[in-house]
């Protein structure tokens, strides 16, 4: 069956117009221009190009509230420094340069545009899976189906119950899936003794490049065969297929980024400035024994980020993943052991919060990396203060009452997509998720209506169905807490909107709660609950101050088309990660190092240039070379 396509090209760019004229010779098409714009351009085109194609004129039609933002966008675009119209009217712009094709400009300036896999200078970018392609979806379905109803080869993955009803816990080194500790019935003494036993560890003596090769091998395995982890991310952590793929990519990036970073640290000459006759050298060494306590909401990415940083720096690691994602913790550690990380360099502890408490009291640790709640972080800090002779570092990433400010100049369609992803992706179970949306009053009703419409399109359900947008809440206790909060707010008179009122066993519908001030929020609600706040333009200074006064400082979003305003807002916010005109989740290793301040965490940012320093001790050796028989520097001076 023959079909014909009649193209229409809307442009006010002379180069685009001439290119279409050249490429479309003897073809049937037409141009379009906006009413009141481009008249001179098209008149010249008719004369210079002898272009006889029809040019249609279109104009926006609608109400004031729709037309004004549209016209503002046109003005902003045409007034931008990079705009063709702006440069055309600039007398200092060379006409030949302006008319040159983009490919010629790139060629003349010798700028290479790298492929996605090569966008980073010293490492390969992680590969993704495009789930908009049916072939990829079919492959994923086939591969993950292989793990359905299969048991994991580990001893007592979850906490079991003894015959007398008391808790039964095992400590595992999962190189071969056997228990190296004793089975204990709430007896922490034997566990503590087993973990504190002294061993002659060889891992710190392994050359840093060899350690890096091991981590690179792990990254390659994760990238080439991610399907088992994808299956358990979906079935144990409740992740959607896209979130599962993204998480493995982040883990791969951590492994490669930290490996290269440690090699660079090791290869620095370490020479410091000083007077002639004196040599000062700075070197790094592992702290010793690092405890890593990882969360259930990123049971692969954050877990691997923590242990890869600690291992590449030469430390021994004891890992305790969340009890909600023990299988994933086991699978990851097994991959590390299989690829060459010694069993005694990476220990795995499975169990509930009692074990995190126990680990923070061990007498042979030299630091803790933790991601989780603020309350747990403060408990760990107290344990370290009470149990350790030394002042040990706590690298903590906690949550936040993360905000987004949307002013009246924002592009509402873009803001809507970014808001919904920030607030409801992963069922709102991200520490970086959007918790309070601040909308300027001029656009409040329109933007809120758009958000609600978008929410209604989200599919809530089982992540095993690959078209699911919103997965389950991690467990019943968390679900009950979120539902109780929504009920309390409703009884208190707050306006509440939920995209679905259907009763769901393990899910909570994306929810909006309209509030009057930030004081209406007392703590973070870790789920798909978005608080919405209206503000006037004159109140923006007070709003930013209120956000700072919460004490949290993890993420914030700013949506505005006025660049000076975006810069001013970002400078005044005491927040670790500021995102402008985009969503506020999904930080990329090496590009958006992630971490907060204040109540949202301590230490340098994960996936950033300073993170590894926290796992290392520094040593400076100062040598008076004169005492060894003279100043060699002076003797080696030569005249020009």
Residue 462, token pair as written in the block: 């089982």
Question: What are the residues whose beta carbons fall under 8 Å from the beta carbon of 142, sequence distance 6 or more?
Answer: none
Three-state secondary structure call for residue 173: strand
- Please identify which residue in the block is written with the tokens 């970073």: 261
Alpha-carbon distance 174 to 347, whole Å? 8
Three-state secondary structure call for residue 316: strand
Supply the DSSP symbol for 458.
Answer: P
Q: Mark out the alpha helices in 115-177 (DSSP H runs).
A: 134-145
Alpha-carbon distance 548 to 550, whole Å? 6
Catalytic residue among 266, 397, 514, 524: 397
**CB of 413 closer than 8 Å to CB of 387:** no
The beta strand positions in 271-333, using DSSP E, are 271-272, 278-286, 289-293, 316-320
Q: Output the 3-class SS for 520-581.
A: HCCCCCCCCEEEEEEECHHHHHHHHHHHHHCCEECEEEEECCCHHHHHHHHHHCCCCEEEEC
The closest of 286, 264, 287, 283 to 622, measured between CA atoms, is 283
Whether 46 sits among the annotated catalytic residues: the reply is: no
> Which helix (DSSP H) or strand (DSSP E) does residue 234 occupy?
helix 227-235
The closest of 36, 51, 46, 38 to 10, measured between CA atoms, is 38
The closest of 196, 304, 283, 144 to 623, measured between CA atoms, is 283
CB half-sphere exposure, 331, CA atoms < 13 A: 23
Burial of 38 (0-12, 13-18, 19+ CB in 10 A): buried
> Which helix (DSSP H) or strand (DSSP E) does residue 122 occupy?
none
The beta strand positions in 16-111, using DSSP E, are 30-34, 55-58
Alpha-carbon distance 257 to 126, whole Å? 11
The closest of 413, 422, 381, 395 to 583, measured between CA atoms, is 422
Instruction: At 165, give phi and psi (nearest 5°).
Output: 90, -10
The closest of 317, 316, 302, 78 to 200, measured between CA atoms, is 316
Residue 302, token pair as written in the block: 């954050």
Three-state secondary structure call for residue 9: strand
The closest of 496, 492, 489, 534 to 513, measured between CA atoms, is 496
Pairing of strands 597-598, 552-553: antiparallel
**CB of 376 closer than 8 Å to CB of 356:** yes
How far is residue 157 CA from its own chain's centroid? 29
Catalytic residue among 247, 250, 323, 431: 431
**CB of 283 closer than 8 Å to CB of 362:** no
Whether 278 sits among the annotated catalytic residues: the reply is: no
Alpha-carbon distance 174 to 1, whole Å? 61
288: left (phi over 0), alpha (psi -120 to 50) or beta: left
Residues serving a catalytic function are 397, 431
């Amino acid at each position: 069956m023959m079909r014909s396509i009649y193209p229409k090209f809307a442009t006010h760019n002379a180069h685009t117009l001439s290119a279409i004229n050249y490429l479309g010779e003897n073809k049937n098409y037409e141009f379009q221009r906006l009413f009141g714009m481009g008249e001179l351009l098209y008149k010249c085109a008719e004369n210079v190009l002898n272009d006889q194609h029809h040019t249609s004129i279109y104009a926006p039609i609608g109400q004031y509230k729709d037309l004004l933002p549209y016209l503002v966008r046109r003005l902003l675009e045409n007034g931008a420094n990079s705009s063709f119209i702006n440069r055309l009217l600039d007398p200092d712009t060379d006409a030949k340069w302006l008319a040159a094709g983009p490919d010629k400009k790139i060629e003349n300036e010798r700028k290479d545009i790298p492929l996605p896999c090569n966008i980073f200078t010293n490492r390969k970018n992680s590969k993704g899976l495009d789930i908009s392609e049916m072939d990829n979806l079919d492959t994923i379905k086939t591969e993950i189906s292989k793990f359905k109803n299969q048991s994991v080869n580990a001893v007592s993955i979850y906490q079991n119950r003894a015959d007398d009803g008391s808790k039964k816990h095992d400590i595992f080194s999962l190189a071969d899936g056997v228990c190296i500790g004793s089975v204990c019935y709430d007896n922490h003494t034997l566990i503590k003794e087993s973990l504190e036993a002294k061993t002659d560890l060889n891992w710190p003596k392994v050359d840093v490049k060899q350690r890096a090769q091991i981590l690179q091998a792990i990254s390659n395995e994760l990238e080439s065969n991610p399907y088992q982890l994808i299956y358990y991310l979906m079935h144990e952590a409740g992740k959607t297929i896209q979130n599962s793929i993204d998480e493995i990519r982040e883990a791969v990036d951590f492994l490669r980024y930290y490996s290269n970073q440690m090699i660079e640290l090791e290869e620095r000459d370490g020479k410091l400035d000083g007077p002639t006759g004196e040599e000062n050298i700075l070197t790094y060494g592992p702290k010793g024994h690092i405890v890593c306590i990882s969360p259930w909401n990123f049971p692969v990415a954050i877990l691997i980020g923590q242990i890869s940083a600690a291992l590449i720096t030469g430390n021994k690691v004891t890992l305790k993943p969340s009890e909600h994602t023990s299988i994933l913790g086991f699978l990851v550690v097994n991959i590390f052991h299989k690829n060459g990380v010694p069993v005694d360099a990476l220990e795995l502890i499975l169990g509930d919060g009692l074990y995190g408490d126990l680990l923070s009291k061990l007498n042979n640790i030299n630091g803790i990396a933790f991601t989780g709640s603020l309350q747990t972080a403060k408990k760990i800090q107290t344990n370290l203060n009470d149990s350790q002779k030394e002042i040990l570092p706590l690298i903590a990433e906690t949550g936040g009452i993360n905000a987004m400010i949307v002013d009246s100049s924002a592009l509402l369609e873009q803001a809507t997509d970014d808001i919904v992803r920030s607030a409801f992706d992963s069922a709102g179970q991200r520490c970086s998720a959007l918790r309070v949306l601040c909308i300027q009053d001029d656009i409040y009703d329109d933007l809120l209506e758009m958000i609600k419409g978008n929410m209604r399109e989200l599919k809530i359900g089982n992540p095993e169905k690959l078209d699911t947008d919103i997965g389950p809440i991690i467990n019943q206790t968390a679900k009950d807490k979120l539902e109780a909060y929504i009920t309390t707010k409703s009884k208190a008179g707050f306006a509440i909107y939920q995209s679905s009122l259907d009763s769901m066993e393990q899910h909570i519908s994306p929810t909006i709660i309209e509030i009057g001030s930030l004081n209406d929020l007392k703590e973070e609600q870790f789920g798909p609950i978005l608080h919405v706040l209206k503000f006037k333009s004159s109140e923006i200074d007070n709003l930013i101050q209120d956000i700072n006064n919460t004490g949290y400082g993890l993420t914030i979003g700013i949506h505005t088309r006025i660049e000076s305003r975006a810069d001013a807002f970002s400078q005044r916010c005491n927040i670790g990660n500021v995102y402008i005109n985009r969503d506020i989740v999904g930080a990329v290793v090496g590009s958006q190092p992630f971490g907060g301040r204040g109540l949202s965490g301590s230490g340098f940012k994960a996936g950033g240039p300073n993170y590894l320093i926290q796992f290392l001790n520094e040593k400076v050796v100062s040598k008076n070379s004169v005492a060894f028989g003279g100043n060699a520097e002076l003797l080696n001076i030569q005249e020009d």
